Amino acid sequence: MGSIENAYEKIEDIVGTKYTSISRVICYSYSMNCDTVLQGIPDIVVRPKTSQEISEILRIANQEQIRVIPRGGGADLTGGSKPIGDGGIVLDLTRMNKVLDIDLKNYIVTVEVGISWSELCKKLSTIESGYYTGSTGPASGFSATVGGGLSNNSVGGGGAAMYGNVTEQCVGLEVVLPTGEIIYTGAKANSFCEKPFTRFGLGPDYSGIFLGDVGIHGIKTKASLNLYPLPEYAAYSTYDITTNKTKREITIATEVMTEWQHRGYPLHDFYYYTEGYTKLLTMFQIKKNLANANVQGSILFYTTTANSQKELEHNVEKIEKVASKENMRKLGDTIGEGNLGKWFYEENGRWQWAHIYWGLYGPEGTSLGTCLKCPTYQLPEYVKLYEKWSNVNTKKLWEIGGGGANFIAFGCHPSYIDVTGGLAIHSDPTNRKVQFELWKDMIISQIKELGGIHYWMGEIIGRSLVDSGALTPEYYNFMITLKKALDPNKILSPGKFYLGEKY
């Protein structure tokens, strides 16, 4: 490895003393993301302001053979924006937080990727009658950045049932390659093109290799996203689902959600809370007003949007006709009566709905994310898997202070769901090894038993894909070949898929 001292002095000259640090305290504060198990303390933390500064830093890192890990808001849960083990340079991109262009001719917004989703949505909402990006980032959108969302194929902040992943709204990127070159993807790859407006048309879709890559292929610095006018009208309902004589509540919910999707109904979002998770919410009275709604089973809520009152009423009629077939109990219309759909859409619930899950055991607790995508019809199988896994591992879970597996599911366009879940456990640092083993076992169980398609690659999930044998040798060799071509010195975000790097 090269000299940290040499690298620090050179980087300090580029970025300035104020935004470069080797302080042990500062470096330790960048050693973890939101989980409490994975940790790696960097040697240097840098907060660049421009793409050119990042380019120069990467050239130095190549010269000195020092690894580099890009980081946004640090809100991920699977070790995506921290070193694997100690050492290296963490690049904090949150100073790069400008809205660069709002193009209302092409309905495209271009931003620096260090801006948070909430800040972007706030700024867009003030333009004329208001705009947004369709999918509005992950549930951690108050702190999560656009770059982090694009690096993790994020969903969950709102609009997923209508628009899909945030990556599906991306029409182009500015990327600093591991060797320091700066490129554009999408329409702006044509140097004569004035404005980004499409991701396709100049040969292969090279944007795709930087989307969902958890920072292994390049450092995204700017992104162009589709814009949509904020709908003028919205409606919401929330249902209590209980098991009847012929069907479990999970079967009822799955059939309703599947029919909603297959009929192409205009759902902006829909979310399902399992019966076990709903009991925890009501028991601890930690979900807004739900505890007073006398909920007996699981929860399903939706939002729908429209451009006229007549269109909205038509949407609601179709959506609720499907729900009424199963005699699900509809909660009241107001937030105070338990209408989570209204809270989700009108009171920024889209960036709060998951927060209590990752703090279920209070300050001494944590949740280790196992989020994935699956066909909607497969949801009952995931319930069985979680129940079976919890029963098998009950003894181990209680030996480390208690906990269990649970999840929330929500709709993604056009016909699948996101199973946002994990292990809610006590986070005693003396039990980190056991916690890690349980976490990885849960992830691999989902991969091998049900073909789970995980998207928060980070450290643990990327490695679990390899360890489980899910990736064929041909596919894995392709990944290694691509990584070697882009990053010949293997300095950028090494170790996430065991792609032959040192870490």
What is the fold of 99-229? 3.30.465
pLDDT at residue 3, rounded to an integer: 85
Q: What's the mean pLDDT when you consider all of the chain?
A: 92
As a whole-number percent, the residues of the chain with pLDDT over 70 amount to 96
DSSP labels, 354-385: TTTGGGTTGGGEEEEE--EEEEGGGHHHHHHH
pLDDT at residue 214, rounded to an integer: 95
Q: Which residues of 161-175 are buried (b: 16+ CB within 10 A; e: fewer)?
A: bbbbbbbbbbbbbbb
Q: What is the CATH number of domain 4-92?
A: 3.30.43.10
Domain boundaries, the chain: 4-92, 99-229, 233-351, 357-467
Residue spans of alpha helices (H) in 100-143: 117-125
* H or E segment to which residue 70 belongs: strand 68-71
19: number of Cβ within 10 Å: 17
Residue-wise pLDDT for 447-498, tens only, equals 999 999 999 899 999 999 999 999 999 999 999 999 999 999 999 999 999 9
- d(CA 383, CA 36) in angstroms, rounded, equals 25
- d(CA 482, CA 27) in angstroms, rounded, equals 31
> Going by C-beta distance under 8 Å and a sequence separation of 6 or more, which residues neighbour residue 234?
268, 303, 304, 305, 306, 312, 345, 346
The strand pair at 182-184 and 99-103 is best described as unpaired
> Residue 330 is encoded by which pair of tokens?
């509809």
- Give the pLDDT mean for 99-110: 97
pLDDT at residue 242, rounded to an integer: 93
Order of strands across the sheet that contains 182-184: 99-103, 108-112, 219-226, 170-176, 182-184
Residue with tokens 């948070």: 116
Q: Could you tell me the sign of the dihedral formed by the alpha carbons of 140, 143, 146, 152, in that order? A: negative
Burial of 5 (0-12, 13-18, 19+ CB in 10 A): exposed
pLDDT at residue 357, rounded to an integer: 64
pLDDT at residue 363, rounded to an integer: 58
* H or E segment to which residue 326 belongs: none
**Contact 241/326 with Cβ under 8 angstroms?**
yes
pLDDT above 70 for 262: yes
Residue-wise pLDDT for 390-399, tens only, equals 999 999 988 8
pLDDT band for 294, please (50, 70, 90 cuts): confident
- Of the candidates 131, 219, 206, 135, the residue with the CA atom closest to the CA atom of residue 172: 206
> Residue 56 is encoded by which pair of tokens?
């120069």
Q: In this predicted structure, which of 63-67, 172-176, 354-358 has the lowest mean pLDDT?
A: 354-358
Backbone angle region of 327, left / alpha / beta, with phi > 0 → left and psi within -120 to 50 → alpha: left
pLDDT above 60 for 18: yes
pLDDT band for 359, please (50, 70, 90 cuts): low
- Give the pLDDT mean for 280-306: 80
pLDDT at residue 409, rounded to an integer: 93
Q: Is 267 helix (H, G, I), strand (E, B) or coil?
A: strand
Distance from the first to the final alpha carbon of the chain: 10
Residue spans of alpha helices (H) in 164-294: 249-262, 275-284
pLDDT at residue 427, rounded to an integer: 75
pLDDT band for 251, please (50, 70, 90 cuts): very high
Residue-wise pLDDT for 414-440, tens only, equals 999 999 888 888 778 888 899 999 999
pTM for the full model?
A: 0.95
pLDDT at residue 245, rounded to an integer: 84
Which residue did the predictor score with more confidence, 363 or 485?
485
Which residue did the predictor score with more confidence, 435 or 358?
435
- Give the pLDDT mean for 245-272: 95
> Going by C-beta distance under 8 Å and a sequence separation of 6 or more, which residues neighbour residue 146?
72, 111, 113, 114, 115, 116, 117, 120, 137, 166, 223, 225
What is the fold of 233-351? Alpha-Beta Plaits (3.30.70)
- d(CA 322, CA 447) in angstroms, rounded, equals 32
- Give the pLDDT mean for 224-228: 98
Q: In this predicted structure, which of 19-23, 295-299, 499-503 has the lowest mean pLDDT?
A: 499-503
pLDDT at residue 399, rounded to an integer: 84
Q: Could you tell me the sign of the dihedral formed by the alpha carbons of 133, 137, 142, 146, in that order? A: negative
What are residue 272's DSSP bridge partners?
A: 300, 409
As a whole-number percent, the residues of the chain with pLDDT over 90 amount to 79
**Contact 404/392 with Cβ under 8 angstroms?**
no
pLDDT above 80 for 503: no
pLDDT at residue 500, rounded to an integer: 86
Task: Please tell me whether the peptide bond between 414 and the residue prior to it is cis, using omega within 30 degrees of 0.
Answer: yes
- d(CA 98, CA 113) in angstroms, rounded, equals 8
pLDDT band for 361, please (50, 70, 90 cuts): low
pLDDT at residue 237, rounded to an integer: 96
**Contact 156/418 with Cβ under 8 angstroms?**
yes
Residue-wise pLDDT for 296-351, tens only, equals 899 999 999 999 999 999 999 999 999 998 889 999 999 888 999 999 999 888 98
Q: What is the CATH number of domain 357-467?
A: 3.30.300.330
pLDDT above 60 for 221: yes
What are residue 172's DSSP bridge partners?
A: 224
pLDDT above 80 for 239: yes
**Contact 89/68 with Cβ under 8 angstroms?**
yes
- Give the pLDDT mean for 354-373: 74
pLDDT at residue 226, rounded to an integer: 98
Residues in the chain: 503
pLDDT band for 285, please (50, 70, 90 cuts): low
475: number of Cβ within 10 Å: 10
